[in-house]
Structure 1
Amino acid sequence: MFMMFAMTTDAVGVIIPEIIKEFDLSHTAASAFHYGPMMAIAASGMLLGFLADKLGRKVSIIIGLLMFSAACGLFAIGSSFAFFLFLLLISGVAIGIFKTAALALVGDITVSNSDHTKTMNLVEGFFGVGAIIGPFIVSYLLANDVSWKYLYIVAGVLCIVLCILAAFSHYPTYEAKPNSKHNLKQTFEIVKQPTTLGFSALIACYVASEAAIYVWMPSLLSEYTGSLEYVVPWTITIFFTLRALGRFGAVWVLKHISWELAMMLFSAAICLCYVLSMALSLDVAIILLPASGLFMAMIYPTLNSKGISCFPKEQHGAIAGVILFFTAVAASVGPLLMAIVSDMMGGQAKYGFYVATVFAALLFAGLFYNWKFKPAQEQLLIQQIANN
């Protein structure tokens, strides 16, 4: 599931130039293909995340997958930008439903906080694989004069297969407590918790800094004319490949050092990559910015898993939805803020990356504090004892 929806969401950067030509759109209008579904995912995560707790993981996953498959299938009959954007909004709502249920399911199948984190890095590794496959499929289609729409048709077919597998798979027994209330009121109560706000803020800083790579790095390097010019077309692929490999490698890392120390060290490396890229030249940026994918790899899944693990299992759907809300908002607002700053400074992408560098510095500061004082340690221990 993670690989399948990453194929569509992370291929948008390759699709946007095509729809600009096809529908004669401005960059602002075409960018709705990115921020439209992201905002739909955010709204769905916040407003519908509790369904995984109320209806159960299996039912919610199947509902989300059916919605996503239907939206992808309808790309075959569409011909207008407005219709395609509408389908992307529907697919965003669907992703919000099945992803929160899938994240809650990870909590059901794991036996400890550390096991939860390792499993989360593993499944997010498949997301990283999908982020490589999606743009490749679109590029292959376009190179053979085939419409980009077929990416969504391929995803829709995969989704039908996933629906069948989900329907016949055995799920861990999940029963909500009789006095539990799974509704929007409970979700908003979770939002107000300091633990939720802390993890969500860290995740937002991470996502905003990461989004600068796959949204604006091609623009930053477009004027590069140095000895590594042949690497420019491959920088995004290198970044996504290192991110995927790093997530699988994170399972090994977490066996040897604490998650707090690992996150602090990797966030320091990310911050250093950004600072040196901005302070020095594009000759440095063309190496360090793609390389940052290796250090970014374990940040999101680890923060995600720890944030979810701070709450009882019957609230995992709701907290996963809240975290997904902050993820999607940061993925939308971060690149937009960078674009605004770049435009204010004469259209130079480097100034947008200064904003991304600030987010990377904030991420390091937060994870340094987390390593030094371990504010979530007590809550994680309480929930681990309760779940056992």
Structure 2
Amino acid sequence: MQRRRILFILFLIYFVFAILLNSVGTVILQVINNYGVAKSAASVLEGFKDLPIAVVSFLVASFLPRLGYKRAMLIGLAIVTCACVAMPLVPGFATAKLLFLCVGVAFALVKVSVYSTLGLVATSRKEHAGIMNTLEGFFMVGVLCAYWVFSFFIDSANPRSQSWLNVYWPLAALCALTFLLLLGTRFDERLAAPPAGSTPAQDFAAMLKLFFKPLVCIFVVTAFLYVLIEQSVGTWLPTFNNEILHLPAAMSVQVTSIFAACLAIGRLSAGVVLRKLHWYPVMNGCLIGMGAVVLVALPLTQGVVPDAGITWFNAPAATFLFPLIGLFMAPIYPGINSVMLSSLPQHQHAPMTGLLVIFSALGGTTGSLVTGYVFGAFSGHFAFYLTLVPIAVVLVMLFLFRRAVEGANGGGTQGSAIIGGESPPLGH
């Protein structure tokens, strides 16, 4: 396979989808201004994006090795290209719903395929972990770019202007270009083929059985708790900045971009570090760092008083200190995903990723809801202090996860014994 070209395409695909997925907040604002949609009605766009990701991942993940990862990614790119073209041609709230429905369906196909393809191009566990972190780092770069790309096309002087819809032309072009690059790239997916003689129904049943394996249970619980933490911080940090640190509304959102930038920097850096160091001490260090940031930064938020003249230059220290939690948080999710996937035979990467996507979605939703409830019922301080609980639990789960991985592998690097597969996971 054309290894470097494949990796470039995978990074480009993730970059494109990061922009589209992260645009939901901006689109909600614009459809409220342009089409007179109520806030409660506009909020359904989030559901149009998230629910298809979980449902489609559950239904088709086990089938993708038969369809082919390249074909699945091409289908996903074709879907979002058409959806992007439809936005400026048929403007309306219904089209926005259709766009995020398409983005959700396509991302389910793409994420499972991209994660599974990494196992085909990585030659060792450390390399797999490095590539996984770099990939997720590019995703966060796309998240950051989304704010600037969309803001360039928005006419602030005329809130009812539909000039923002023109952003979808370059996005459609980028999707189409990625489609053509992928179409012209040769993939060797023979190692990902399902076992001879198995049927699609048997493949689906095998995916469900994965969840009942002790190692997989530990893994999905760990992934669930990590996403719970990340989503609770990312979703409620703007509100925390506004209500606890008394920053202006616009600045509260802008400061949150520091958190996203830290996630990007942390994952891109971990992509280098995890090629050289063992994942377990790195993950433990990151969790301890997260706890330290919470314990150091939150006391600095006590007693902050409103200041009408607050700017970036005189904002409280906690404004810039707490988002640094993203640097330590960043490597954990792609790191544990890499350890799990690189421990499996190739044909099980797709169903395992399907389970990962489902529990990640559940963790994100749970984190946002729980933090929102605690924030409202008690205080923002208590809500963010509460993140220390899942951080501590993840620390314990990582210990169990390492023991399960090494026990299933017999202390070695071959991981097919974990689930009972026949083929080696990596190093082919």
TM-score (norm 2): 0.81
Task: Quickly say closer, same or farther: Cα 1:72–1:275, change in 2 above 3 A.
Answer: farther
Matches within 5 A, 1:195-344: 195-223=215-243, 232-281=252-301, 283=316, 285-344=318-377
Q: Which runs of 4+ in 1 moved over 6 A?
A: 226-231
State the structure with more CA Rg: 2
CA distance in 2, matches of 1:244, 1:129: 6
2:172 aligned to which of 140, 150, 156: 156
Q: CA RMSD in A?
A: 2.8
Aligned partner of residue 179 in structure 1, secondary structure: coil
Paired amino acid for 1:178:
A
Unaligned runs of 5+ in 2: 1-12, 303-315, 417-422
- Contact 1:276 1:284 survives alignment (8 Å): no
Mapped partners of 2:71, 2:170: distance in 1: 23
Show the counterpart of 1:386: 424
Residues 1:33 and 2:33 are matched in the alignment? no
For residues 151-209 of structure 1, give each alpha carbon's deviation from its aligned partner in whole angstroms, at most 9, with x where no partner exists: 44433221111111111102134252313444422221222222222111111111121
Give the gaps of 5 or more residues in structure 1: none
Alignment partner, residue 207 of structure 2: 187
Q: Aligned in 2, Cα 1:271/1:151: closer, same or farther, shift over 3 Å?
A: farther
1:61-99 residue CA offsets vs partner (Å, 9 max, x unmatched): 111211222222222234443442233122201110122
User: SS at the partner of 1:170?
Assistant: coil
Residues of 2 paired with 1:351 and 1:120: CA distance?
A: 33
- Closer, same or farther: CA 352–8 of 1 in aligned 2, 3 Å: farther
Amino acid in the other structure paired with 2:183? A
Tell me the residue number matched to 2:64.
52
- In structure 1, the partner of 2:406 is 377
1:284 deviates by 5.2
Residue 358 (structure 1) aligned with residue 376 (structure 2): no
2:123 alignment partner, SS class: coil
Could you tell me how far apart the structure 2 residues matched to 1:229 and 1:135 are? 16
- Using the TM superposition, give the Cα deviation of residue 120 of structure 1 relative to its aligned residue in structure 2, in angstroms: 0.9
Q: 1:112 to 1:242 in 2, by over 3 A?
A: same
Per-residue CA distance 1:325-355 (angstroms, 9 max, x = gap): 112222233213322333334xx54454345
Report the alpha carbon displacement of residue 226 of structure 1 after superposing the two structures with TM.
Answer: 7.5
Query: Could you tell me whether the CA contact under 8 Å between 1:72 and 1:155 is conserved in 2?
Result: yes
- The 1-side partners of 2:377 and 2:27 are apart by 26
1:382 alignment partner, SS class: coil
**CA shift in 2, pair 1:11/1:247, >3 Å:** same
Contact 1:12 1:33 in 2 (8 A): yes
- What amino acid maps onto 1:367 in structure 2? L
- Whichever structure has more helix as a proportion of its residues is 1
SS at match of 1:210: helix
Q: Which amino acid in the other structure matches residue 291 of structure 2?
A: C
Partner in structure 2 of residue 97 of structure 1: 109
Matches of 1:235 and 1:227 in 2, distance apart? 9
CA contact (8 A) 2:149 2:167 kept: yes
Question: What is the CA distance between 1:357 and its match in structure 2?
Answer: 4.2
Q: Is the Cα–Cα contact under 8 Å of residues 274 and 288 in structure 1 kept in the other structure? A: no
Q: Which secondary structure state, in structure 1, belongs to the residue aligned with residue 414 of structure 2? A: helix
% same residue: 25
CA contact (8 A) 1:42 1:96 kept: yes
**C-alpha contact 2:344 2:424 (8 A) present in aligned 1:** no
| Native 8 Å contact 1:338 1:351 kept in 2 | no
Name the CA shift for 1:343/1:225 in 2 (closer, same or farther; >3 Å).
closer
Question: How far apart, in 2, do the equivalents of 1:82 and 1:357 lie?
Answer: 41
